[in-house]
Amino acid sequence: MIKSGIPYIWNIPNTWKITRNKNLFRLGKYIVGDDFDSYQLLSLTKRGVLEKDIEQGGGKQPESFSTYQSVTKGNLVMCLFDLDCSAVFVGMSKFDGMISPAYDVFYPKENVNIQYYEYLFRYIESKRYYKDESKSLRYVLNKDQFGGLPQIHPPLKTQNRIAEYLDKEIAKINEQIDANKQTIELLGEYRASVIGEIISKRPVKKIKMRFLLKSPLKYGANASGIDYDEGLPRYIRITDIKDDNLTTEDMQSLSLNDAEDFILEDGDLLFARSGATVGKSFQYVNKLGNCAYAGYLIRAKFDNRILSDYIFNFTKSSLYKAFIDENLIQATIQNLSAEKYKNLIIPLPNEQEMKTVNNEIALVNNKVDSSIIYHKSIIEKLEEYKKSLIYEVVTGKKEV
């Protein structure tokens, strides 16, 4: 083994060389122009470059795709901006098509296995090593900066062998990850079904939610969030809600003036009104601290916590899912208005029965949540193993 001189690579086998990215890749920028409708739209995702339905929408869509750039099979697509926070970084395209001009499309030069380098860049992405190579506020690498960065270059036969090995091993790991994700999805369906049964087996009166509200449903603030400040209300957006809790990533606050009419109180329910998470519900409790909510959420306020808990539990049932499916307005962005939500039919038992239902559902939730936590822990371990395996193999620490 010899020293590579690259801090995040460390030692490499004696037969490997050190070069620079510009000697391995050629930047291509071929604009599709007015012929864009003859190209397949592509998207850079966490799972690589995937085909995307141009008619399906989702995310920001340009007025025209004429400024998009062509991609051919075997190109390496990279996101070389926002290197401190971008959710995507690299993907080898298995398709011909077009992709956003925001990305850089690279063609391999001689003696380059592009699949090997995709794995190598995945390792670099895992620790965001290229962030430290950027000098700009947005953590951007331009063509010359990227091209000038040192890079390892194993013999082509070694690259081929590594790429083939990792293709097989990563496929096995991904298969296990997908199996655990499917189990989690089935557990969610099981929960919804059981909650529906618990609610349905009791004598109830069916009543529209509008008649149970303490005050009319209210859309959230349309103001922009600001940097998180513990002295200001936390700004809850749809993306902050995950698994009936609030994430700690990318937290924002709202100024006191903007938040004044949107402060949440114990037991308030929030409903997502648009986007991929339409129908998602969330219950605010005091232990979350001072919070306000954003415009893509709708607040429902009830007279007491027992009723709030019951309706929140109801939103986890198969009955509620059926309501969402029946009332969803399918447009460019899926949406469900407050007018629709307030007419949600609630199967309402008496207060004592509500307490019993809430207690029974709590037992179900504890059981299902424990199983979900177990499978999520397996996924996390598999993801860590995958990263470790890629690092060891692409840097020559593990011979294959």
**Is 172 found in the same domain as 86?**
no
Beta-carbon contacts of residue 372 (< 8 Å; ≥ 6 apart): 184, 187, 188
Same domain, 96 and 169: no
Which residues are within 8 A (CB) of 366 and not within 5 positions of it... i.e. 6 or more apart?
none
Token match 């290197």: residue?
83
CB 88 within 8 A of CB 135: no
Dump pLDDT digits (tens) for 238-286.
999 998 899 998 899 999 999 999 999 999 999 999 877 899 999 999 9
Q: What value does the mean pLDDT of the chain take?
A: 94
Q: What is the mean pLDDT of residues 301-314?
A: 96
User: Is residue 310 domain-shared with residue 370, that is, in the same domain?
Assistant: no
Judge if 336 and 356 occupy the same domain: no
Look up the domain containing 113 and give its range. 2-153
Check whether residue 218 and residue 287 sit in a common domain: yes
CA distance 375 to 304: 35
Residue 229 and residue 129 share a domain: no
Sequence-distant (≥ 6) Cβ neighbours of residue 100 within 8 angstroms: 44, 68, 69
Other beta carbons within 10 Å of 325: 9
Same domain, 161 and 82: no
| Number of domains composing the chain | 3
Q: What is the pLDDT of residue 62?
A: 73
Tell me the CATH number at 60: 3.90.220.20
Same domain flag for 303 and 342: yes
From residue 292, how far is each of 152, 277, 283, 311 by CA, in Å? 49, 19, 13, 21
**Rounded to 5 degrees, what are φ and ψ at 41?**
-75, 135
Mean pLDDT over 2-15 rounds to 96
Q: Are residues 162 and 52 in the same domain?
A: no
User: Is the same domain home to 324 and 289?
Assistant: yes
Boundary of a domain, candidates 304, 320, 348: 348
pLDDT (mean) for 227-232: 95
161 and 144 part of one domain: no
Residues 181 and 269 occupy one common structural domain: no
> Band of the pLDDT at 333, cuts 50, 70, 90?
low
Nearest 10 degrees: Cα torsion 155, 161, 163, 168: -170
Please state the pTM of the whole predicted model: 0.84
